[in-house]
Each structure stands twice: as structure tokens, then as C-alpha cells.
Structure 1
Amino acid sequence: MTVSRRLVNLTLDTLEDLPGRCRGCVFWELDPVAADRAARAGDAELSKEAWASQTLLEWGSCGKLIYVDEAPAGYVLFAPPAYVPRSVAFPTSPVSPDAVLLMAAYVVPDFAGGGLGRMLVQGVARDLTRRGIKAIEAFGRERPAAVADRTAEHGAESPGERRCVVPADFFRSVGFKTVRPHARFPRLRMDLRTALSWKSDVEAALDKLLGSMRPEALLHPALPH
């Protein structure tokens, strides 16, 4: 049986297909005080929708989702740091002026281990290269074991940091390099000007993706849930 995989841009319609815990999370989209306020007021989903609407209108595509057999299986969000208030709260900020920030990346556990995270990042790389962006940067989270002996110095991780900051090892595994080390939150970078192999990798991955899709999946995309 052929498994179909479909990579699409984030829109206000596909926003509804984000995992529940992510649909109502504004860790990246608001500054820490405003995010707390939105969570307490129950306005987080509306705030996320407002952020997506503004970013799409003013800047353009800011996320991608991947579907496996029409089921939402993962997503990434990205935007210039000016649209990401949380970015200035990290000890390794600011993001370089020539880079877009990859904020969130998540694969539904049932689909983990199938290379979907890499495919999502490759899709972002292709999109941004076409738009003339020079680099992607991200704040990674070091593994707890690597920072356990530094907890007293830096303080315990917040729940948002554990859920919403992608492990640095993932970024390294898909081609990012550390540009500003830190015990807990290093800043990593993928330079799209010199990572020429990425262009061919992206093309090959997307050709393979399209080749694996059933004709009916191309003709009848999934409707929003």
C-alpha cells in the first residue's frame, strides 16, 4: 500500500490542523508577559491566529505542515525575528540580520522516525532560497543530561522551553551549525548561500515526495478538520 505524504504552506485554514497543544500555544508569537496573559485569559488560539494572519499578510509564508495519508503529521513555523517577540529573550540572541528564525518544529509521535522532520526543514530551505533569504537560524535546547549540573547556575527549564524549543541535536542532524554556543540554548545556523548540497537534497526529497503520492491525493487535497 502506497503511503502519501503532502507538504503544504501554513494558512489560516491549515492552522486548524496543528496539534492541539501547539494550536493554543503562543510561546514564540508573543513576549513572555503577553503570552502569560493570553493563556490566563483563554485567548491563546485567537492570538496565534492573529499572529499568523499578520505575518502572512505582511511577510508571506511562515509555516509548513506535512500530511501522511491525509492525517496531519507535523509542522514547522518560521519568520523574521521582528515577528518573533520571544526571540530576544534567549541568552544567545539576537538572530543575525540576514537570517529568518525557525521557531517551532514538531512531528506527531505516531509518525516519528520517518524522516518527516528533515523533509519539513528541507521544504523551508527551498522556500526561503527562492525568496532570496540567505540563512536560517534557530535556538536549540541542549539535552537535559548535558545541562543537569548547570541547573543551579541557570535555573530550571520552564514548561514552555521544554515543549517549544527544539532539541539542538535535531538541528545539527539536518545541517545546522552552532554559531553561538551556550550550555542550554545555543543558536544554530544553516547558511543557504554556501549549503549548495541542500538545493539538490531538497529537490530530490520533494521529487521523491511527489512521486510517492497517489493521484487522488493530488486531485483531492485534505479538507480542514
Structure 2
Amino acid sequence: MSVRIAPLKLEGFEQLPKHARRCVFWEVDPATLGGDERLADPEFEKEAWLSMVMLEWGSCGQVATPSHPVLGGIADPDCLGYVLYAPPRAIPRAHRFPTGPVSADAVLLTSIGVDPAPMADGLPRELIARVVDELMRRGVRALEAFGRTPAVAELLDAGSAGRAAVAPDIAPVLEAVGDCSVEHCIIGADFLTDVGFTVVAPHRYFPRFRLELDKGLGWKAEVEAALEHLLESARLQEPVGAGATMPSVSAE
């Protein structure tokens, strides 16, 4: 079964996974909540934020879905993966990081999630490749992201008092909003390194990464070559006559 990656549209909001629809870690500044970490309707807040960004800036996400009907002719609407990004001015939490601000020529990558299904193997790289392709067409020079290192675990284990004592400058980053927290809503630093980002602002807990998009075509070509190699290997391992049912992966 092949995979289709397309820009997120507001009418497709419901196809996002539940956490993605309710996560407002990046979109809501806890300081505006007056000490109350709960939101009455986080899903409404997330949809309103997406609507605002799409209206003022344009598409700010990519969504991966199965591109063909499942057996029996019933379309499978499940979201296999998604990625969200936006100008840093539209992301309140971005201004709270000690490794900020995000560079003036960059768009900020905030969230990426992929279903653990076997057909989603390699999908994180495909999603990033599609973001690179989209932003290059729009004249963006770089993609940046704040990463979460494994050392963050020591902060979470220390409790609120311990966190403030160890690193008072990161207390604003650690403030939760509902079910949104650093361990669930900040992209892992190792993943960012694996897909080609480099550190431009080192930090024990929350380094800032950057991917130069003028190098994106070469990076994207490497990803596509690797995918083609996997597909070719699959073809060689198939029984004769099985080509009509061979699974494939594409980024349409």
C-alpha cells in the first residue's frame, strides 16, 4: 500500500491523531492562562491557531495517509503521520527557550508524529523531505527546531523545586498546558540530528537545530535514493508475477 503526503488543510483537521488535535504546547503561552494550566477546549484552540496561521502565512503542516482503498473498497482515512511548522512569530512557546530566538530567515518545526504501523517505516524522513520541498518553493532559507536531549529526564525526575534550582532559565519551557509537556511535545534531539539538522545553539537540555534549505535538494535526493533502493530490494525478493500487488511508498 502506498502513502500520500499532502499539505494539511483546515477541513482535514479531524484526520489528525487525537493528541495532535489537542496539543497546544507550542501554540499557547502558559503566562496567558493566569496560573491555570487547563484549557476549556484545547482542540478548539488548536484549530483556531491553525486557521490563523493558514490565513496569514499559508500551509503549516503535512499529513501522510494511505493513498489507496483497503481491501473491500472501503477507504482508510487513518493518518499515518503528520508534521507541523510555522513562522516563529506565530509560536508563543518559541520565545521561552534559552537557546532562542529562532533565526529571522527560518521557519520553526514544532511537531512530528508517525503511526507505528509497518507501512510507516521511513515516513519521518519523507515528511521532513516534503517540508523541505514545500519551504524551498516558498523561498524560505532554513528550517529550525528546538530539540529535547536525553538529559531532560533528570529535570523531570527532580520535581518542580529541583528544576528551578538546577536551571531557572528553563522554567518557562517546562510549564505544562493540560496534557502537553516537554517529554511529549518537543522533538527528540537525536531524531533531528539523524535527519540532517545541525546544532546552532548548544544547550544541555534544549539545543536549537538548523537545516539549511539551500542544501535541501541534495539531502532530499539522498533520501529518495535510499527509498528507491528499498523498493528495488523488495522487487527482487518478490515471487514472479507478484508485481501487481507490490507495496510502494511515494510522496505525492
TM-score category of the 2 structures, normalised to the smaller one: 0.7 to 0.9
Equivalent in the alignment of 1:148: 154
- Identify unmatched segments of 5+ residues in structure 2: 69-75, 232-246
Mark the CA change 1:32 to 1:213 in structure 2 (over 3 Å): closer, same or farther.
same
Q: How is 1:17-32 mapped onto 2 (pairs within 5 angstroms)? A: 17-32=15-30
Inter-partner Cα distance in structure 2 for 1:171 and 1:109: 19
Cα deviation, residue 44, structure 1: 0.9
Which of 161, 171, 183 aligns to 2:204? It is 183
- Identify unmatched segments of 5+ residues in structure 1: 219-225
Which of 137, 140, 145 aligns to 1:130? It is 137
Contact 2:133 2:216 in 1 (8 A): no
Contact 1:137 1:188 in 2 (8 A): yes
SS at match of 1:88: helix
Q: Deviations over 1:11-31 (max 9, x none)?
A: 112211111122111111111
Inter-partner Cα distance in structure 2 for 1:61 and 1:96: 20
Mark the CA change 1:35 to 1:175 in structure 2 (over 3 Å): closer, same or farther.
farther
Q: How is 1:1-225 mapped onto 2 (pairs within 5 angstroms)? A: 3-34=1-32, 40-68=38-66, 70=76, 71-111=78-118, 114-144=121-151, 148=154, 152=162, 153-154=166-167, 160-201=181-222, 212=248
Q: Deviations over 1:114-158 (max 9, x none)?
A: 1111110000000000100000000000014x7638955237955
Cα deviation, residue 74, structure 1: 1.2
Contact 2:5 2:65 in 1 (8 A): yes
Inter-partner Cα distance in structure 2 for 1:149 and 1:40: 22
Cα deviation, residue 203, structure 1: 6.2
Mark the CA change 1:202 to 1:54 in structure 2 (over 3 Å): closer, same or farther.
farther
Equivalent in the alignment of 1:222: none
Q: Aligned residue pairs: how many?
A: 211
Mark the CA change 1:35 to 1:185 in structure 2 (over 3 Å): closer, same or farther.
farther
Q: Deviations over 1:191-219 (max 9, x none)?
A: 0123441243466689999x9369xxx9x
Inter-partner Cα distance in structure 1 for 2:154 and 2:53: 37
Q: Deviations over 1:21-73 (max 9, x none)?
A: 22111111111234688963422111111111111111001001111364211
Inter-partner Cα distance in structure 1 for 2:40 and 2:138: 36
Contact 2:132 2:216 in 1 (8 A): no
Inter-partner Cα distance in structure 2 for 1:112 and 1:85: 35
Cα deviation, residue 111, structure 1: 5.0
Identity of matched residues, % = 44
Letter in 2 for 1:76: V
* 7-16 or 134-143, which deviates more: 7-16
Equivalent in the alignment of 1:223: none
Inter-partner Cα distance in structure 1 for 2:114 and 2:91: 21
Contact 1:78 1:104 in 2 (8 A): yes
SS at match of 1:182: coil
Inter-partner Cα distance in structure 2 for 1:67 and 1:38: 36
TM-score (norm 2): 0.73
Letter in 1 for 2:150: R
Letter in 2 for 1:154: A
* 6-15 or 196-205, which deviates more: 196-205
